[in-house]
Amino acid sequence: MTDTRPPVALRTEALEQILTERGLVDPAVMDKFIATYETSVGPLNGAKVVAKAWTDPEYRARLLADGTAAIKELGFSGPQGEHIVVVENTASTHNVVVCTLCSCYPWPVLGLPPSWYKDPAYRARVVREPRTVLREMGLELDESVEIVVRDSSSEVRWLVLPERPAGTEDLSEEDLTGLVTRDAMVGVAKVGA
């Protein structure tokens, strides 16, 4: 019988087996790390924060006033999430996040940063020509929309509260969570309905 798993899955399994056989990796520890990044850390957490803010005006106000504390209310905290500032996209202002020095990123709510976020070209260009970079990434904004570039650092990590799409007023918090993407919370995309 032929193994139909993708080559990367096969290589990963082979690498884990070799590291385990040599005593360099404990499979239980690996399983714990994998489970953490699948369920405890990642963009689904951020999507839950956004959906809560869209459906609960009091939570939204707390989130914009003190992002770290409001995010912690939902049980999301940890390394790289010590100080998160949340900014809101509106019809007239669009925020986009970058870390020009390295790749500071709010891991508890967005997971690991994508490769493009760490790319020196993104880090340099989005500051100088944000509208062009966003267009290249598939986000076309009207010229009347002000683009604000937020530079994350080890002291402050930014999270974008995207605009809630029109026509979603009747959706539950759970349904809204499914609409929110990591890219929308970084500001390189909008949330579609």
Query: Are both 161 and 83 inside the same structural domain?
Result: yes
Q: Exactly one of 102, 153, 154, 172 is catalytic; name it.
A: 102
Our answer to whether residue 103 is catalytic in this structure is: yes
Higher pLDDT, 93 or 3: 93
What is the structure's pLDDT at 33?
A: 73
Our answer to whether residue 115 is catalytic in this structure is: no
- Domain tally, the chain: 2
What is the structure's pLDDT at 51?
A: 98
What is the structure's pLDDT at 165?
A: 97
Our answer to whether residue 99 is catalytic in this structure is: yes
Query: Are both 28 and 105 inside the same structural domain?
Result: no
Find how far residue 182's CA is from the centre of its chain: 4
Our answer to whether residue 92 is catalytic in this structure is: no
* Angle at the Cα of 191 from the Cα atoms of 113 and 160, rounded to 5 degrees: 50
Residue 192 falls inside a structural domain: no
Query: Are both 71 and 122 inside the same structural domain?
Result: yes
What is the structure's pLDDT at 25?
A: 85
Q: Which structural domain range is residue 161 located in?
A: 42-186
Q: Exactly one of 92, 99, 153, 154 is catalytic; name it.
A: 99
Residue 130 falls inside a structural domain: yes
Give which of 84, 47, 67 is closest to 189, Cα–Cα.
Answer: 47
What is the structure's pLDDT at 78?
A: 83
Place of tokens 């993407």: 181
Q: What pLDDT, in 10s, does the model give residues 132-185?
A: 999 999 999 999 999 999 999 989 999 999 999 999 999 999 999 999 999 999
